[in-house]
Structure 1
Amino acid sequence: MDKILMTTAALTLCGYLTLMFVRPESAASGLEFTTEMFFQALPWMIVSMFTAGLLAQFFDPAVIARILGRESGIRGVLVGACLGLAGTGSRWAAYPLAAGLVAAEASPGAVFAFLTSWQLVSLSRLPAEVPFLGMRFTVIRAALSFALAIVGGLVVDHWVKSP
């Protein structure tokens, strides 16, 4: 099992155990909140895992590697960032999809650009932002966020390639 996961689980358990002795009502409230979040997210997690598994059957890893692989360079990072713009799902959909891209040998930079663009821009969410922040701010923020996804993808590709 993943060391980071195990460490986080151990620290969380220690936190709950400590809180149970110091403020039992807070520990109970935290567990109740955790249970609610779990059951709210569970359907998304299940559907997303099945969707990622299904999508993996439709995409040839060689094609993904050619379009988004290490040899694709800036083009792969740009394609990854553009794919992120189209993202409409929850994090439970995006992360399994990103894991599928990694398994299909997409470059780390392309996956970074995909996730960053999806999280920071996602065109489907922009109309919800405009009424609150205005068109000018939304366009500038989205453009800079998209550029950040691309620059970050290039940096990640360079950093991961370096020894």
Structure 2
Amino acid sequence: MNTTTLFINALAVICLILGLRKDREKTKHALKIAVMSFIKILPTMLAIILIIGLMSGFVPPKTISKIVGQEAGFKGILIVGALGAVLHIPSLIAFPLAASLLEKGASVTSVAVFITTLTMIGFVTLPLEIRILGKKFAVLRNVLSFIMALIIGILVGVIL
């Protein structure tokens, strides 16, 4: 366990103790809400573990590195950008998946593009966006977002 994790957990315990001392009922209520929230996100957390486990088991690091690593170049960045634009993955799953991709040999640039396109482009929600905002605006927003995601990813890769 690293120091950041220890610090955050210690801070949470201290705040819990202070909360119990100040108002026991409110703290109990807050803990009930926290437990219910945990139960609600449990399926998503299990999905994270499943996706990362399957990827780790079936996709060798060499393949990941070849497709979205440094050697893939701009083609790899475009592939991962297209995947990020098309997939509809909640960030709760995307960040651990991105970390796993990095560990398996993906480049920082590719992972940055993947996360950025996941959050900025709504291919799945495009029909709704077209209906509400109009076709021209929705398509233009998504195209410009894709270009910006590529630029952001490349900048992150250069900086890191």
Q: What is the TM-score normalised by the length of structure 1? A: 0.81
Indicate whether 1:83 and 2:83 are aligned: yes
Using the TM superposition, give the Cα deviation of residue 61 of structure 1 relative to its aligned residue in structure 2, in angstroms: 1.9
Match of 1:142 in 2: 142
Q: 1:100 to 1:127 in 2, by over 3 A?
A: same
Q: Which moved more, 1:101-110 or 1:9-18?
A: 9-18
What pairs up with 1:1-163 in 2 under 5 angstroms? 1-160=1-160
Cα–Cα, structure 1 residues 129 and 3, in superposed 2: closer, same or farther, change >3 Å? Answer: farther
Using the TM superposition, name which of 132-141 and 14-23 deviates more.
132-141
Which residue type is aligned with residue 159 of structure 1?
A: I
Query: Aligned letter for 1:156?
Result: V
CA contact (8 A) 2:89 2:118 kept: no
Write the distance in 1 (CA, Å) between the matches of 2:14 and 2:126: 40
Per the alignment, in what secondary structure is the counterpart of residue 124 of structure 1?
A: coil
Give the RMSD, CA atoms, in angstroms: 2.3
Distance 1:36-1:68 versus aligned 2 partners, 3 A rule: same
**For 2:124, what is the secondary structure of its paired residue?**
helix
CA contact (8 A) 1:52 1:93 kept: no
CA deviation map 1:89-132 (0-9, x unaligned): 33343234323311220001101111111122141133344445
Distance change in 2, residues 1:131/1:29 (3 Å): farther
- CA 1:131–1:103: 2 relative to 1, 3 Å: same
Is the 8 Å Cα contact of residues 77 and 150 (structure 2) preserved in structure 1?
A: yes
Aligned length: 160
| Cα gap change, 1:126 to 1:6, in 2 (>3 Å) | farther
* Percentage of identical aligned residues: 29
